[in-house]
Structure 1
């Protein structure tokens, strides 16, 4: 379970405060969506949970299964079960996709005190997950994300999520830049990973993603805090009325 208490965050080396006493709980097995206008702090929240630098936490806690992840480095948070799918996945020329995937999987296995995967077992796991996500074998032979379309980059991140099997999955506007077919494939990959011991925090502007990844709860974020929480019908309300009234509430 993820529990965020009174989280106050600013940009490091600046006076600009982004999160203003944010509180949020995501239970085991829950799919929680966060919606809100540009500049409300949605992406900042995802970065701070995952341990991205450039932010300073002034107050609050982020608890994963009762343990404060703010005391961990980014790699330790990943090993503890946090996974962040970026809005704009980076291209990494010179790093083969398969090399990257194997290094990531074995690093987490080592952190958990498990043996490294043997090459045949690794290839079998990757091929199985790639087939389910419609990832062509030639994508696996390229440098990581280099020359990939927006949809291919997002599918590659869902592949990483499937292989690393995290307990807390954060999707930062994963629908950004996707056409209808790519959105459906990515959503099917996410839905296939839903489980009682795995939670999702889905950050999005638009309700269309939530047609495919149906949330248990929807949170509205404005001015760095959660201002309303409801069921999946709240996303439909936002699609019709927009965020203006929530800005006033914040």
Structure 2
């Protein structure tokens, strides 16, 4: 059973002009089996939240705590956070020329588990994960994300999610750049992972369209570096109808 707890999290982004505060006190508890959708306008700090939790060196946590099953993640290196059970699906997956998908996945699995998976079983597991994402077997021999379409990159991220089987997953704009067919495939993969029932999941998105296929436990509105309202699916429907203007105006008024 996996619980991700974020407590009073403040973080800066490191810029050429020095640190700039982005996160301004984020509090959130994701219990096992829950999917928390974080929605907000561009520049609100959603991706900063994801990268700060994952340990990206450009983002500095100044105060606050992030624990996964009681383990304090902020005291760990990036690889140690992954070994503790954290997974981040990035909004813009990077290319790794010369490293095949199959080698990348097996190396990652070996690093997480402390031992290499049995090759015979692993090949079948990879083929099954790729098939679930409607990716051909030949995909495993391609260099990671090199020449991939937007949809292929995001489907590859969800195949990783299935194979690496983390305790907690943060999916940063997994729906970005997907056509309707790819969106359904990716959503099906996310739902299969969620059906395990003992994992925590954060789904970061601008739009409600992915929530037509993934049923969130909670929806949170994220503006100006923190959560300003929480609710159920009805909150996503409200955002679809009215947008974020109500919240951005309130944040601007509070800043005066």
Q: Could you say whether these structures have the same fold, taking a TM-score greater than 0.5 normalized by the shorter chain as the test?
A: yes
Unaligned runs of 5+ in 2: 252-256
Residue 65 (structure 2) aligned to one of 61, 64, 79: 61
* Separation in 2, partners of 1:158, 1:99: 17
* Separation in 1, partners of 2:71, 2:118: 32
Question: How many pairs align?
Answer: 246
The residue aligned with 2:185 is 185
Q: In the alignment, is the contact (CA less than 8 A) between 2:106 and 2:116 conserved in 1?
A: no
* Separation in 1, partners of 2:250, 2:82: 35
The residue aligned with 1:200 is 201
1:131–1:12 distance in 2 versus 1, CA, 3 Å: same
Bigger Cα displacement from structure 2, 129-138 vs 225-234: 129-138
1:45-69 deviations in Å (ceiling 9; x for gaps): 0001111111111111111112210
The 5 Å alignment of 1:23-172 reads 23-110=27-114, 115-172=115-172
When normalised by structure 1's length, the TM-score is 0.96
* Separation in 1, partners of 2:83, 2:71: 13
1:89-114 deviations in Å (ceiling 9; x for gaps): 1111111111111100111110xxxx
The residue aligned with 2:254 is none
The residue aligned with 1:231 is 232
* Separation in 2, partners of 1:245, 1:75: 39
When normalised by structure 2's length, the TM-score is 0.93
1:59-83 deviations in Å (ceiling 9; x for gaps): 1111111221000111111111111
Q: In the alignment, is the contact (CA less than 8 A) between 2:33 and 2:199 conserved in 1?
A: yes
1:6 aligns with 2:8: yes
Deviation at 1:32, TM superposition (A): 0.4
Deviation at 1:147, TM superposition (A): 1.3
**SS of residue matched to 2:197:** coil
RMSD of equivalent CA atoms: 1.1
The residue aligned with 1:222 is 223
The runs of 4+ residues in structure 1 deviating greater than 4 Å are none
Q: In the alignment, is the contact (CA less than 8 A) between 1:207 and 1:236 conserved in 2?
A: yes
Q: In the alignment, is the contact (CA less than 8 A) between 1:151 and 1:179 conserved in 2?
A: yes
* Separation in 2, partners of 1:121, 1:165: 16
The residue aligned with 1:211 is 212
* Separation in 2, partners of 1:15, 1:74: 20
* Separation in 1, partners of 2:197, 2:121: 26
The residue aligned with 2:26 is 22
